[in-house]
Structure 1
């Protein structure tokens, strides 16, 4: 049940991403960037109003038995991760993979809008359509886990999601380049859509309940710290070389991240795929 629940969360996230980017691209093309940003700000206000209008308030959290400092919690989360061989491997895999993906985000915008001379609405389409690959992948996760097993799905799609970014370097101007970008991104997000729920379930099963929040916090802080560093590195690399060269380096980093998957370690408890 846990894998199924995580795949549904993943499907929801990809659905929102798939609808938002094309709509944003169309709005920019019709009304301009300023009006689109204003509409986006209004959507945040409406979201806050919707949360505020919930009839049933969130229950009061239980009182902690002992006061803990957040630094100690983060340190405990990192210690738990680094003591667990499989989590340790997946942690560095996630840092490199997530960092390389973030590195390409601003560079892909420059490549498409400046170098490939695509319109803003085409850029929005190129961001939105691949998200449906993530939706399809997340919907198929449970079936794939039942048929193939947790370990083959985690490792297999962990490798497959790293194989597609290199095609972005080959994209040329015009519609042909747009098709290459959409196809590569769709394949990448399909594999990520399958991988992510299994990875989330793996991390939850491998973490004791009393360390769940501390591992999650340490993981999140590490990711949010690594990704801006990768973005800055990508910008510097593109400045001294070229956008395509920087994206190519990110593609190599993605391929290398597959070596950090837990190839030799696996928890004794299997994941619940039902």
Structure 2
């Protein structure tokens, strides 16, 4: 697929993801306010069941996967994926940037809920709005990605918005009870997700282009396993830090970690072809 079309395709996937997130959180907050948490969880479970039934109703079956010439083990695939990432100078830098950034974002999730519901005394529908509205920043950012890449270039967009997405979390610490605190949170989260909405499709496109086809799935598996391992560790660290100090201090530490992650971006010139092993 030509590179401009690849960026466009990834931006559309990103737009879809942010649209679902943007609609789900406010609807959940409204349902909790109207029917309570138990009924909302039950409705959520029913939605998963309906989704499964919808997939089941597809008439055309998925084509069978190609048969591998050599039997492979998932552990070996992960090791090969890591080896490929760490041998590629630019992917190596983006990998650690993603681990720190994603971990810091996940760290703030539970703490932000405590901050808004316990310290700022927001009601459930306000909490849902505070989670949902910023996702539309991600939608706008993803829709503008292709245009920004065409005008500024891939490297400028990746580095520029890779830095810009780290600049907003510190404002969460300044939020105070009342409508103004809610506005501060929504504004900061919207700016963060707008920048992430621009960055993510460009990052995904670059990772795909920098990875040889025969290593694509193994790099993806290694990347996903690493993220899913780092993020719970960050969440646990954030909970322990908030217990010893305070919720605001822990969020402030996450904001510093985000700013630090921008130093891990690939600031040196990067190769434009897949790495060969």
Q: Aligning the two structures, in what range does the TM-score lie when normalised by the shorter sequence? A: over 0.9
Q: Deviations over 1:216-244 (max 9, x none)?
A: 00000000000000000000000000000
Deviation at 1:55, TM superposition (A): 1.2
2:244 aligned to 218, 231, 240, which one? 240
**Within 2, Cα distance between the matches of 1:59 and 1:139?**
31
2:134/2:187 contact within 8 Å kept: yes
**Within 2, Cα distance between the matches of 1:21 and 1:70?**
35
Structure 1 ranges of 4+ moved more than 3 A: none
Q: Deviations over 1:152-172 (max 9, x none)?
A: 000000000000000000000
**Within 1, Cα distance between the matches of 2:38 and 2:232?**
25
The TM-score normalised by the length of structure 2 is 0.97
| Residue aligning to 2:256 | 252
| Residue aligning to 1:180 | 184
Q: Deviations over 1:176-234 (max 9, x none)?
A: 00000000000000000000000000000000000000000000000000000000000
Q: Deviations over 1:40-96 (max 9, x none)?
A: 000000000000001111000010000011110000000000000000000000000
**Within 2, Cα distance between the matches of 1:102 and 1:231?**
6
The TM-score normalised by the length of structure 1 is 0.98
Partner of 2:90: helix, strand, or coil?
helix
Deviation at 1:266, TM superposition (A): 1.3
2:117/2:123 contact within 8 Å kept: yes
**Within 2, Cα distance between the matches of 1:240 and 1:72?**
40
2:7/2:146 contact within 8 Å kept: yes
Deviation at 1:265, TM superposition (A): 3.4
**Within 1, Cα distance between the matches of 2:272 and 2:169?**
34
1:18/1:130 contact within 8 Å kept: yes
Structure 2 stretches lacking a partner, 5+ long:
none
Q: Are 2:10 and 1:6 aligned?
A: yes
2:93/2:264 contact within 8 Å kept: yes
**Within 2, Cα distance between the matches of 1:213 and 1:200?**
13
**Within 2, Cα distance between the matches of 1:199 and 1:266?**
13
1:85/1:265 contact within 8 Å kept: no
**Within 2, Cα distance between the matches of 1:124 and 1:268?**
42
> For this pair of structures, how many residues does the alignment match?
271
1:96/1:254 contact within 8 Å kept: yes
1:11/1:139 contact within 8 Å kept: yes
Deviation at 1:245, TM superposition (A): 0.1
| Residue aligning to 1:70 | 74
2:23/2:132 contact within 8 Å kept: yes
Q: Deviations over 1:2-51 (max 9, x none)?
A: 00000000000000000000000000000000000000000000000000
Partner of 1:172: helix, strand, or coil?
coil
Q: Deviations over 1:224-274 (max 9, x none)?
A: 0000000000000000000000000000000000000000131234xxx99
2:210/2:272 contact within 8 Å kept: no
